[in-house]
């Protein structure tokens, strides 16, 4: 079998390649014997052949497998039955009960005068006009909307903060914080503790928690979204939950590990056609899969680590720190290291 950790290129040079240590270690789970008799790259992940009748199909299937195994940690056995994408309303109710607030403020433009006799106001939220009761409008430009949105993100219950959510805008860097939960009964307590800590610090945020009990464990069972200028809050957040029952030890191969079970990463900023609309894990998995398949198709003249690094670079990601985009701030500046030491004293 081919040892894919050997990154010898056509000139005979060797080296680990400009990849993060976690990503280099994960590559040992790949086997790349070359081309199949039909000319399609032969790719194996953890002793299972990646399916596909064309190089493109292999690349897409590998991206899905890498997302499941390297990022979320959700891969099921090949013969396991698929679960229907239904909602579990009883479990959602437990998560909602653990949510410490019911409303979130949203900036709005009021287009009608205060009605008489209990009528509705016409309010513009973003670019959408809606009708709301007067009591929902708080001040000249603020509307209180339900904070909990149980079906916006499939499989997750989503909440916007009591102090609002992160600022929208293509020029804004957005930070994700991931929490690994091993079983569903742990979710309400960890979820409630995280949201209470965020509220105590008056931090605008968006967060989501896995709302399908059968989908646990996951390394991204809870995700918190924060503005870049509030990145330092991740350490007290992690301190609030990392010793609670049910926190797992694993983190995404692509994210930056803070503590066992807690990691951070920046929202992708890839502007290429066809690469938008993906989550962080999906985006990084797709970029790595592209490099792997390109190498597998021409092993004699290419180098695995360099092909993966090139794909990540083209995807506006940092190959040496795939949690970062090329434009992202450093994840662990001196200030953040000081805050981490204060949050987790030895």
pLDDT in tens, 107-162: 766 655 666 666 776 766 666 676 767 666 665 556 788 999 998 898 999 999 99
pLDDT at 50 over 60: yes
Considering the domain architecture, whether residues 196 and 275 belong to the same structural domain is answered as no
Distance from C-alpha of 174 to C-alpha of 67, rounded to nearest angstrom:
20
What residues make up the domain containing 234? 86-102+148-249
12 occurs within a structural domain: no
pTM score? 0.84
pLDDT for 306-341, tens place per residue? Answer: 999 999 999 999 999 999 998 887 765 544 555 565
* Residues 132, 202 within the same domain: no
Counting the structural domains of the chain, the total is 3
Q: Does 233 map to a domain?
A: yes
For 42, residues 6+ apart whose C-beta sits below 8 A from its C-beta are 32, 33, 34, 35, 36, 49, 296
Q: DSSP secondary-structure letter at 299?
A: T
Same domain, 214 and 91: yes
In angstroms, how far is the first alpha carbon of the chain from the final one? 44
Same domain, 245 and 111: no
Quickly list H helices, the chain: 21-26, 55-66, 89-97, 187-200, 234-241, 280-297, 304-314, 334-343
């Amino acid at each position: 079998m081919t040892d894919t950790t050997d990154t010898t290129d056509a000139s005979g040079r060797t080296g680990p390649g400009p990849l993060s240590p976690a990503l280099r270690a994960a590559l040992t789970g790949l086997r790349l014997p070359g081309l199949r008799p039909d000319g399609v790259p032969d790719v194996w992940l953890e002793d299972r052949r990646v399916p596909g009748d064309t190089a493109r199909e292999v690349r897409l299937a590998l991206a899905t497998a890498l997302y499941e195994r390297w990022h979320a940690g959700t891969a099921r056995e090949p013969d396991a039955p698929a679960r229907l994408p239904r909602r579990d309303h009883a479990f959602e109710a437990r998560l909602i009960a653990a949510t410490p607030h019911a409303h979130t403020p949203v900036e709005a433009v009021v287009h009608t005068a205060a009605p008489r006799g209990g009528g509705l106001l016409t309010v513009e939220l973003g670019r959408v006009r809606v009708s709301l009761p007067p009591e929902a409008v708080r001040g000249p430009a603020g509307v209180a909307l339900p904070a909990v949105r149980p079906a916006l993100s499939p499989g997750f219950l989503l909440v916007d903060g009591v102090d609002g959510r992160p600022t929208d805008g293509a020029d804004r860097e957005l930070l994700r914080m991931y929490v690994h939960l091993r079983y569903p009964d742990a979710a309400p307590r960890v979820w409630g503790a995280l949201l209470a800590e965020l509220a105590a610090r008056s931090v605008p945020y968006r967060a989501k928690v896995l709302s399908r009990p059968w989908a646990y464990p996951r390394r991204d069972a809870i995700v918190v979204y924060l503005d870049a200028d509030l990145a330092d809050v991740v350490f007290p957040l992690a301190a609030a939950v990392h010793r609670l029952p049910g926190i797992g030890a694993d983190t995404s191969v692509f994210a930056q590990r803070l503590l066992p079970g807690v990691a951070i990463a920046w929202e992708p900023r890839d502007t290429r056609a066809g690469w938008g609309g993906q989550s962080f894990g999906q985006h990084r998995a797709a970029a790595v899969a592209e490099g792997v398949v390109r190498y597998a198709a021409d092993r004699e003249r290419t180098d695995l680590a360099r092909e993966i690094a090139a794909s990540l670079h083209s995807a506006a990601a940092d190959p040496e720190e795939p949690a970062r985009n090329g434009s992202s701030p450093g994840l662990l500046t001196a200030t953040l290291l000081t805050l981490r030491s204060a949050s987790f004293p030895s």
